[in-house]
Amino acid sequence: MKDQPAPGQHGVSGGNEPPERRPAERQQGLRVGRVHGVPIFVSPLALVFAALIASLLVGTIGHRLPAATDEHVLALSLLVSAGFVLSLLAHELGHALTAQSFGLRVRSVTLHGFAGFTEFEPEPATASREFLIAFVGPAVNGAIAGACYLGLLAVPDDGSVGTVLFYLAITNLALFVFNLAPGLPLDGGRVVVAAVWAIGHDKLRGQRAGAYGGFVVAAGLVVWGTATSTDGFGALYAYVLAGFLAFGAYQALRLARVRERLPGLSAGRLARRTLPVEGAVPLAEALRRAQEVGATAVAVIDRTGSPVKIMNGLSVDAMPQHRRPWTTVDEVSRTIGPGMTLQAELEGEELLAAVQRVPAPEYLVVQRGRPVGVLAMVDLVARIDPAAAARMVSSR
């Protein structure tokens, strides 16, 4: 299902979120344990979806086992539903453990509704690794389906065990086939990315191909739902799933366009000229001094002259003019915490990954240990996604 490398992503999956919106960690739902050091989360939607599957199976299993009691049918339905959730988990663990085998850091696995999310960083360095991480998830479901069909050879197919094995085989076969559909945000879209990347030695072209494939798959789902559904629920489910895939494909295409603008962008080139001041200086005075020297950022320094805080632009914008002479710079500044200091040489994907790990409105930029300026997030976003930067500015 959906894998999310930080900063890249896989599975019934999507592309990266833009840096101004991406959280440092995505932890949705109840933490239920760890597997090989990877925290596992289950969202409430996964439980709702499992209950929905169980309710839909009651009638089907009842027809298959007409002599069974209602309680027995319900128990089998719940068992198949639980098996479906465990199949999703096995799928995501396939992604996670493969990523770990390549030395990538897996942050978490989350089961969310009918999809799963595996978040890891950094992105695979080669097309072959991209392919393997993407393909292993569906392959796990294919293996489970095969094992269930083999089990059916050893038990009566009209008994309780045979019924459970039959429906687990069907659901895992569906997961295998659906996830390998050739379009992002599905795993099959990542396979397309890897194939185009390997052939043309251009990952961005592969990402665009996978995204366009996602739109085709979404359109196919709409046509299929309209043509084959005999009830309103089936068509609605197909349309919702198509919308989910289309949105993921759009995000992936947007990410590819953003990444086209990354080469040549470095923290040093984007750093604003910065005025160092002591924290007790009134805000109005600090802004006046900054204007005099042409600085567009202010850093609070300690007694040794080392920067300890960065003036927060949002806080300054929110401060009324009449209060600025009575407010110190220290009061509208943010402490420079871990991850908020960037090397001037950071550029491209490395720069994007650094700001995604620790989201902040401003960062201190240093070169050979010496402060050289402040990087404002809005400046970085403006270079890679002007529309997003405009939204940031208008929301102030």
**Residue 279 or residue 1, greater confidence:** 279
Q: Which residue has the tokens 């069907």?
A: 170
Give one DSSP letter per residue of 89-117, joined into a string: HHHHHHHHHHHHHTTPEEEEEEEETTEEE
Q: 194: burial class by Cβ within 10 Å (0-12, 13-18, 19+)? A: buried
- Here the contacts of 355-359 (C-beta below 8 Å, separation 24 or greater) are 355/19, 355/380, 356/6, 356/7, 356/16, 356/19, 356/22, 356/24, 357/6, 357/24, 357/121, 358/24, 359/19, 359/20, 359/22, 359/23, 359/24
Q: What is the pLDDT of residue 230?
A: 64
Using 50, 70 and 90 to split pLDDT, how confident is the model at 24?
very low
Residue 52: pLDDT over 70 = yes
Residue 77: pLDDT over 60 = yes
Express each pLDDT in 209-229 by its tens digit: 999 999 999 999 999 888 876
In the chain, pLDDT over 70 holds for what percent of residues? 89
Express each pLDDT in 300-319 by its tens digit: 999 888 999 999 988 898 89
SS3 state of residue 18: coil
Look up residue 241 and give its two tokens: 């799933």
Express each pLDDT in 240-273 by its tens digit: 889 989 999 999 998 888 888 778 789 999 999 9
Using 50, 70 and 90 to split pLDDT, how confident is the model at 394?
low
SS3 state of residue 69: coil
- Here the contacts of 48-53 (C-beta below 8 Å, separation 24 or greater) are 48/113, 49/113, 49/114, 50/81, 50/82, 50/84, 50/85, 51/81, 53/77, 53/80, 53/81, 53/84
Q: What is the pLDDT of residue 390?
A: 64
Task: Give the span between the Cα atoms of 75 and 58, in whole angstroms.
Answer: 9
What's the angle, vertex CA 286, arms to CA 284 and CA 290, rounded to 5? Answer: 115
CA neighbours within 13 Å on the CB side: how many for 279? 16
Q: What is the mean pLDDT of the chain?
A: 86
* Residues 6 or more apart whose Cβ sits within 8 Å of residue 125: none
Q: Domain residue spans in the chain? A: 2-260, 267-394
Q: Which residue has the tokens 């900063």?
A: 7
Q: What is the pLDDT of residue 122?
A: 83
Q: 205: burial class by Cβ within 10 Å (0-12, 13-18, 19+)? A: middle
Look up residue 78 and give its two tokens: 């719940």
Superfamily of the domain at 267-394: CBS-domain (3.10.580.10)
Using 50, 70 and 90 to split pLDDT, how confident is the model at 86?
very high
Task: Give the span between the Cα atoms of 162 and 12, in whole angstroms.
Answer: 29
Helical pair 203-228 and 187-200, crossing angle rounded to 10 deg: 140
Residue 183: pLDDT over 60 = yes
DSSP state of 230: S
Express each pLDDT in 322-375 by its tens digit: 999 999 999 999 999 999 999 999 988 888 888 988 899 899 999 888 889 999
Residue 39: pLDDT over 90 = yes
Residue 395: pLDDT over 70 = no
In the chain, pLDDT over 90 holds for what percent of residues? 58
Distance in Å from the first CA to the final CA of the chain: 37
Q: What is the pTM of this model?
A: 0.74
Residue 289: pLDDT over 90 = yes
Task: Give the span between the Cα atoms of 197 and 183, in whole angstroms.
Answer: 15
Q: What is the pLDDT of residue 226?
A: 85
- Give the residue-averaged pLDDT of 288-297: 93
Task: Give the span between the Cα atoms of 57 and 175, in whole angstroms.
Answer: 17
DSSP state of 22: -
Task: Give the span between the Cα atoms of 328 and 285, in whole angstroms.
Answer: 9
Residue 89: pLDDT over 70 = yes
Q: What is the pLDDT of residue 336?
A: 94
Q: Which residue has the tokens 């620790």?
A: 358
Using 50, 70 and 90 to split pLDDT, how confident is the model at 283?
very high
